[in-house]
Amino acid sequence: MRVAAATIEQVRAPLRVEELEIDEPRAGEALVRIVATGVCHTDAIAQEGDFPYPFPGVLGHEGAGVVEAVGDGVTNVAPGDPVVIGWPYCGTCRNCLEGQPRYCQDIGAQVGRGTRADGSTAWRRPDGTPVHSHFFGQSSFATHSITDAKTLVKMPPEMPLELVGPLACGLATGAGAVFNKLRPAIGSSLVVYGVGAVGLAAIMAARNSGATTIIAVDRHAARLKIAAELGATETVNVNEADPVDAVQQICGGPADYSLECTGNMDVLRQAADSVGLRGTCVLIGGAPADATFTLDHITTLWGKTIAGILGGEGTSDRLIGALARLHLDGRFPYDKLITPFSLDEVNDAIAASISGEVLKPVLRMPA
């Protein structure tokens, strides 16, 4: 079957929409017709060559759509089901078996190998040349995707499929850090450094918790305004105040929890310094592969926890399913962050994401 996909030929090349031939689903696989897909910073990082993925290939990893066909042995989804494509995982390693597939011991290959486990790609050019697929198990910058069926999360029929893709990665990362890891105690304080889509998801999640002080820190006034609309009780513009001092003043001491969503190592230090004895600082921002940071030894000894989190932890089924339900109940209004683009506008969408002009670009596929 012929499909349209935005391919990238080499590092830093612009994406180009072309026709490819796609496989029939094999055993355990599903063919998903993509309705829309979010654009995440990791797509841009991969385009820049800072994420291991072979070219030519197809990026995109926040796909949502409708199952068109399934291969042998697939029982969790059927043709016609509305789905979001979650992160890939092996299902047999220790971490997968313990319910933490985000930390699948094969995660590097699963997200970046660009092929199935046997080395085959899901699609090829009309002349037969293979094009790499399976970026995060899906390569969703395309009208169709071949995926491992067990990564699919069924959506309630009332959930709009043109909105739901971003729940698969960026928004799950921010919200999952709060729901799965921090689990803020009643009356606690939480500070979020960097309120792009990931940080705003954390703010919306915190608003669904017992935290009573929710601080947004950023350098863009427009983002801070949205953060306040979505649940931040205080905002700090780093152009106007030292954020660590501001947090101390607001909380009357250090905060209980901090989240670092920028991937900037100076900001990470501020986030770590914003929590005190028995405080928790969580790292979720995407940084360059060689980034390192230093901490003050004595204050870290004070029972401080510094934790990195991938993809919001937990399982896609539970996390994405809950976020969709919260959205339908008006408690996770992430649709306010979305700006739609067409597949042909994929390069504009990536540029708008990098510049911060758009919080969450979503590509809508041609019908």
| Identity of the residue numbered 151 | T
What six digits make up the tokens of 367?
């019908």
- 162-191 footprint of Zn ion as x/- string (CB under 5 A): -------x----------------------
Cα 112 from Cα 136, distance rounded (Å): 6
Residue from 8, 59, 104, 322 binding Zn ion (CB under 5 A)? 104
Strand partners, 21: 2, 124
Cα 346 from Cα 179, distance rounded (Å): 32
Cα dist. 347→182, 220, 252, 343 in Å?
36, 23, 46, 9
Cα 251 from Cα 266, distance rounded (Å): 22
- In the complex with Zn ion, the residue whose CB is nearer, 35 or 168, is 168
CB of 294 to Zn ion, least distance (A): 27
Residue from 8, 67, 70, 96 binding Zn ion (CB under 5 A)? 96
Pairing type for strands 16-22 and 213-218 reads unpaired
CB of 25 to Zn ion, least distance (A): 21
CB of 316 to Zn ion, least distance (A): 13
CB of 279 to Zn ion, least distance (A): 27
CB of 306 to Zn ion, least distance (A): 22
- In the complex with Zn ion, the residue whose CB is nearer, 105 or 115, is 105
- In the complex with Zn ion, the residue whose CB is nearer, 104 or 275, is 104
Cα 56 from Cα 7, distance rounded (Å): 7
Helix 197-207 × helix 221-230 angle, to 10°: 30
Total of chain residues touching Zn ion, rule CB under 5 A? 8
Residue from 93, 238, 250, 295 binding Zn ion (CB under 5 A)? 93
CB 86 within 8 A of CB 153: yes
* Residue from 343, 354, 332, 347 nearest 36 by CA: 343
Residue from 4, 90, 109, 328 binding Zn ion (CB under 5 A)? 90
Residue from 42, 140, 235, 258 binding Zn ion (CB under 5 A)? 42
φ, ψ dihedrals at 8, nearest 5°: -120, 130
CB of 345 to Zn ion, least distance (A): 19
Q: Check residue 40 for interaction with Zn ion (CB under 5 A).
A: yes
- In the complex with Zn ion, the residue whose CB is nearer, 35 or 169, is 169
- In the complex with Zn ion, the residue whose CB is nearer, 107 or 215, is 107
The site for Zn ion (CB under 5 A) is made up of: 40, 42, 89-90, 93, 96, 104, 169
